Amino acid sequence: GLPERVTIWEVGPRDGLQNEQAVVPVEVKLEFIDRLAAAGLGTVEATSFVHPKWVPQLADAEALLADLPRRDGVRYPVLVPNERGLDRALAAGVRHIAIFASATETFANRNLNRTLDDQFAMFEPVVGRAVAEGLDVRGYVSMCFGDPWEGPVDRAAVVGVGRRLLDLGCSQLSLGDTIGVATAGQVSALLDDFASAGTPMSALAVHFHDTYGQALANTLAALRHGVTTVDSSAGGLGGCPYAESATGNLATEDLVWLLDGLGVTTGVDLDALADTSAWLAGRLGRPSPSRVVRALRG
C-alpha cells in the first residue's frame, strides 16, 4: 500500500543553490524560500552554516536568516557540520538543524575533511548541545548506494553509520543517493536492512539525486516500504560540489505530479510551485531540469 500523506522536505535553497556556479543574490534566495513556503511546502531547508570557503554559494547564511520571513507552521532547517556551525545557527535563531555524515571513507574525507570515524567525534557535541537547547536534529547519510571513488557501497556500512547518528540523538535519518546511481531493488534492500536493525520507517527519509533518471522509481519503492518523508528540490536543481558526478535532486514538481496522480496528499500547490521554478530558472539564466516544469511552463 501507499501512505495517505507524504511530507516533502524541500532542499532547493540549500542542495540546489549550493551547486550553482554564479552567486545567487540574497534577495533572490529570500523570495525563492518564501514562495516555496507559500506554495504549501512545510519544510524548506534554507541554507548551510558550513565553512564559507568550502561552499561560497551559501556564505550569506547569516544575512539570509536575518531577513527571512518565517511563516507559521513552516520549518526552516539548516545544515550544520560542527560546533562552529552550531554557534552560528543558534545566533541566527535556528530551531531545526541537520548534520551530514558519509557512509564512505573517501567522501568523509572530501566533504568533511575527517575520517569516517572522526566525523562522529565532530557530530557528537553538536547533537548533544542542540538537543539540550530543544532543537530538532536530522542526520543525513551520504553515499548510501554508490560512491564515485569507491564504487558500490556495502549496506551494512550504511546501516552502521545511520544507527550511530540515531544513537547520538538524531530524530530522523535521510538516506542519500548523492550521485543518483541507485535502482529500486537496492532501495528496498537497504530499507529492509534498516527495519531488521530495528529502525522504524517513520524515522527514515529518502534523498535521491536523479543522475540516471531513477529518482521517481526509487521514491515509489520507498513509499511502498512505509517511508513517508521524501526530499526533493524545486525545479530539480542540486548536486554536491564535493561529490564528483552528482547532478540535480529529484524535482519537487516531478514528485508532486506523481503523488497527485496517486491521490497521496502533500499540501503543495503544483501551479504555484512550477511558477516559482520557472521564475528562478529565469533568474539563473537556464531552463529548469525538471520534466514537469518544462511540460507545464516550457
**Residues annotated as part of the active site:** 240
Q: Binding segment for ligand HMG among 2-10, 74-82, 123-131, 210-218 (CB under 6 A)?
A: 74-82
Cβ contacts of 128-133, under 8 Å, gap ≥ 24: 128/168, 128/169, 129/83, 129/86, 130/80, 130/86, 130/97, 130/169, 131/169, 133/90
Q: Binding segment for Mg ion among 15-23, 70-78, 197-205, 215-223 (CB under 5 A)?
A: 15-23
Q: Residue 15, interface with Mg ion (CB under 5 A)?
A: yes
The distance of closest approach from Cβ of residue 81 to ligand HMG in the complex, given in angstroms and rounded to an integer, is: 4
Q: Residue 173, interface with ligand HMG (CB under 6 A)?
A: no
Q: Residue 51, interface with ligand HMG (CB under 6 A)?
A: yes
Annotate each residue in 275-294 with x if it binds ligand HMG (CB under 6 A) or - if it does not, as one string: --------------------
Annotate each residue in 63-82 with x if it binds Mg ion (CB under 5 A) or - if it does not, as one string: --------------------
Q: Residue 145, interface with ligand HMG (CB under 6 A)?
A: no
- Please identify, using beta-carbon distances, which residue of 117 and 271 lies nearer to ligand HMG: 117
Q: Residue 50, interface with ligand HMG (CB under 6 A)?
A: yes
- Residue 138 partner contact from ligand HMG, Mg ion, none using kind-dependent CB cut-offs of 5 to 8 Å: none
Q: Considering Cα of 98, then 170, then 76, then 65, what sign does the dihedral take?
A: negative
State how far the alpha carbon of 229 is from the alpha carbons of 23, 57, 250, in Å.
30, 27, 13
State how far the alpha carbon of 68 is from the alpha carbons of 71, 138, 268, in Å.
9, 21, 20
Determine the residue type at 91: A
Residue in this structure with the C-alpha cell 511552463, named with its chain if needed: 297
State how far the alpha carbon of 184 is from the alpha carbons of 49, 173, 177, 188, 190, in Å.
33, 19, 12, 6, 10
Contact residue for ligand HMG among 104, 172, 178, 288 (CB under 6 A): 178
Residue 185 exposure: Cα atoms within 13 Å on the Cβ side = 0
* 178 vs 208: CA distance, rounded Å: 7
* 77 vs 44: CA distance, rounded Å: 7
Determine the residue type at 203: A
Q: Binding segment for Mg ion among 14-22, 91-99, 188-196, 269-277 (CB under 5 A)?
A: 14-22
Q: Residue 170, interface with ligand HMG (CB under 6 A)?
A: no
Q: Residue 207, interface with ligand HMG (CB under 6 A)?
A: yes
Q: Residue 55, interface with ligand HMG (CB under 6 A)?
A: yes
Contact residue for ligand HMG among 142, 229, 233, 247 (CB under 6 A): 142
| Pairing between β-strand 78-79 and β-strand 47-48 as defined by DSSP bridges | parallel
Q: Residue 177, interface with Mg ion (CB under 5 A)?
A: no
- Residue 101 partner contact from ligand HMG, Mg ion, none using kind-dependent CB cut-offs of 5 to 8 Å: none
* 185 vs 113: CA distance, rounded Å: 32
Contacting positions for ligand HMG (CB under 6 A): 15, 18, 48-51, 54-55, 79, 81-82, 84-85, 88, 100, 111-113, 140, 142, 176, 178, 207, 209, 240, 242
Contact residues toward Mg ion (CB under 5 A) are 15
